A and B are shown apart, each in its own frame.
Chain A
Amino acid sequence: MSDREPSTVVTRAQRGEVDAIGALYDQHQEAIFRYLWARLGERQAAEDLTGDVFMRMIGALPNYRPSAPFRAWLYRIARNLLIDHYRRHAQSPLPLTHAEVRTAEADPITLAEHTLTIERLHRALAQLEEAQREVVALRFLSGLSLQETAAALDKTEAAIKALQHRGLAALRGLLMEEPVQS
């Protein structure tokens, strides 16, 4: 997936062309939903918030500057809505349980041999530190590039690299801990 949306689609959407807005929705809705589900832990809330992201996108499109990666810009909207959501519901962004990281020596069975279901993944993700969870969700559930993730979170690429490494390690440890349900 490219870092940049074909500029013509975004430009057309900025001009209010409904087809182009539909194309942007088609292109990004699944990934936005995956990110929001991972962050919220609630499927229905993620569904609702996904719609809000694109509604917000329509209003904000005139202010989008093509010099910035479109996906990063879109994820900033999603992230801002998440923060609003947390404020509205007066809840912290998922339990901040510190993961007890177990590394490779804990289990010889590789994760590839497990069936990694989205439910298992979300249970494990919920136990990650927030910053790690955010980076892991953007990088590996939504498919953002390193640069896009850095732009979306307003962090350096070096910081994203470190967070994704620690996040994956912690996540792996948590998945190893959890019994695989047949």
Chain B
Amino acid sequence: MAHEDPTTKTLAELGVTDAAGVARLFAELRSGFGAQAGSLADAARWEELRAAWVGRKSGVLTRVTENWLKPAPPELKRSVGQELNALKAHVEQALETERVQIDAATSQAANARDRVDLSLPGVRRPVGSRHPLRQTFEEIERIFLSIGYTVVEGPEIETPYYNFEALNIPEHHPARDAMDTFYLASPPGAAEYVLRTHTSPVQIRTMEKQPPPVRIIVPGKVYRRDNPDATHGYMFHQIEGLAVDTDITFCDFKGTVEYFVGQFLGPAIKTRLRPSYFPFTEPSVEVDASCHLCGGAGCRVCKFSGWIELFGAGMVDPSVYGFVGYDAKNLSGFAFGLGVERLAMLKYGLDDMQLFFQSDARFLSQFP
């Protein structure tokens, strides 16, 4: 404004003494407002205008009330008051009209932005797949279910009795060293527990509950205190097998093993049995498969022996029957413990067991 803002002065200072002068002053204010309210671009400019006119502290209307109305001489109070109310009503209504227009424009812009385009292709959500270990489990279970075995499970937290003693591994037996057992912390005098180091305890639990004949497989997790590397982990998976009946011979055992390996790794793979030792089987064997890479000629994978160790097995040691109340004189059977990671690595040609546990989608998605 070229001259000073008239609302900072009283009517007397402005030299206004009659109603006509008051009306002229208010008319000027109103046209000044009209010029500013013409076209507001956005909500921020609207808020500026609102504060300048009806703001409680420094708005024009507040200044008019303070400087014109309150000190006005009694004969002018009435006309100032009327003009002020009319101006106030006009300003408020104009502001409200502007606000509605700005809101409408804003929500129209938002709608245009958010509009659903039905012609766009949909978002393809990644679909998970069964873990390769789970697939291996299922395949092994399928093979054994088809020849009359049933699936049994047991606890991962075991007592030393089931994990060791009942499997013919008394305390201080050197075979306990080889197991690298996790012992669970327990208060002094309380019962001791271990994380099972093999699925074999379920052999005992099953035979305690069920009279012969027994034909079971036991899939599950086992724990050993090993540092994780390409062929070791502190947790891995086994499938235990147990068959006990009155007439089971080593031939039955060998036939079962050969049938399983042929089904799982293919008919081209040969097997051999190699003497070994487990406290709960006698005789004990390691089952070897002919190397799938070199066919037995010798290569890096089979460490130039032509054979790859598959799993341990054997005929159930008669002393185990004593622990479960079976008649060792008239019963015989065999047991085996398959390492699931090892079999899966052989089947899929993997060289690092840790791949199974890293949850890397690039790896897992290769097993649809």
Do A and B belong to a common assembly?
Answer: no
**B residues in contact (CB < 8 Å) with A:** none
